Amino acid sequence: MALVQFNKLPLTYNQQIALLKARGLVIDDIAETKRLLENISYYRLSGYWHPLLDNKEAHVFKVNANFRDAYNLYCFDNELKLLVLKEIEQIEIAIRAKMVYVLSLEHGAFWHENQYLFSSEKTYTKTINNIEKECERSDEEFNKSFQKKYTNNLPPSWILAELISFGTLSFLYRNLKPSIPKRTIANHFGLNEKTFSSWVHSLVYMRNICAHHSRLWNKDIRIQPVNPNRPKRNWLENKEVVNNKSFYLLSTIAYFLQTVEPKNEFTNSIHKLLKRYPNSDVKAMGFPKEWQQEKLWRKK
């Protein structure tokens, strides 16, 4: 298809509402809709009324499609993301703590500076450069105090773990050579090294989706977690569940939490969230039939 010049003109809020109504979207409260368009934006909300379109090419809505339905889906997605961020934070902190503990006892406080522990020199160099930049940008007092007192280029790993991003930590683990410490870290969470590395990478991706306010509920997952080989905790019994939808990622969170916080309320919170928003399309999220019967997802 030949490329063309973009020529759509910006519209006022009233013009946006008129356009939606002309395309068949039911709008019951003009003032409230205008307020939402003003504070959220037409383009962001369009991702939530897209499922309501009957003809997606012509942008024609289904009969009785209502703006309120799209907004409710937006609210559902926001609550889902907040819940996911909260639980990923717990998992992330636990992963940082375990990596620092295991690798420091085995290889010393500055294991992250030992290039021979890592498989790819190119990846290691890139990761260390990112680490140095992240430390330079940090305004944490404990980091400034270390720099004033010591001559080391980088702080010890237990300080470093509080400064670098989750993504950088993920790259550090993935690039470690096969070893007992690497296996010990993964096994702590009931996984082998390959699966653990893949799942952590996917959690970083999921966290970024939530933190950058992108849609999560019906996202086609670009960084897909691998299927686990003989997981040591409760896992999905249905082997037909696809790994490119949000349900699979939510399941990895539920799996990690069995180690990180056994008394967690995550699965209960998902059940309650879906009950508050009964019109949410769980099929678009990759939820299989009878998912509630999975041991991993049973109410506590």
Contact (CB, 8 A) for 143 and 124: no
Which pLDDT does position 255 carry in this prediction?
A: 98
Q: Which of 130-144, 167-181, 246-260 has the lowest mean pLDDT?
A: 130-144
Measured CA to CA, the distance from residue 238 to residue 28 in angstroms comes to 42
**Same-domain pairing of 17 and 150:** no
**Same-domain pairing of 175 and 267:** yes
User: Averaged over 208-230, what is the pLDDT?
Assistant: 93
User: Averaged over 16-31, what is the pLDDT?
Assistant: 97
Evaluate whether residue 216 is within a structural domain.
yes
**Same-domain pairing of 125 and 274:** yes
Evaluate whether residue 232 is within a structural domain.
yes
Look at the block and give the residue holding tokens 């406080």: 109
Which pLDDT does position 2 carry in this prediction?
A: 87
**Same-domain pairing of 108 and 151:** yes
Evaluate whether residue 185 is within a structural domain.
yes
Evaluate whether residue 8 is within a structural domain.
no
**Same-domain pairing of 123 and 38:** no
Could you tell me the pLDDT band of residue 124, with boundaries at 50, 70 and 90? very high
Contact (CB, 8 A) for 300 and 269: no
Evaluate whether residue 39 is within a structural domain.
yes
- CA triple 18-22-24, angle to 5 deg: 120
User: What amino acid is encoded at 240 in this protein?
Assistant: E
Which pLDDT does position 300 carry in this prediction?
A: 78
* Domains held by the chain: number: 2
pTM for this model (two decimals): 0.94
**Same-domain pairing of 204 and 105:** yes
Determine the structural domain holding residue 96 and report its residue range.
Answer: 74-297
**Same-domain pairing of 87 and 43:** no
Which pLDDT does position 156 carry in this prediction?
A: 96
**Same-domain pairing of 91 and 237:** yes
User: Averaged over 10-17, what is the pLDDT?
Assistant: 97
Contact (CB, 8 A) for 264 and 257: yes
Which pLDDT does position 114 carry in this prediction?
A: 97
Could you tell me the pLDDT band of residue 251, with boundaries at 50, 70 and 90? very high
**Same-domain pairing of 37 and 177:** no
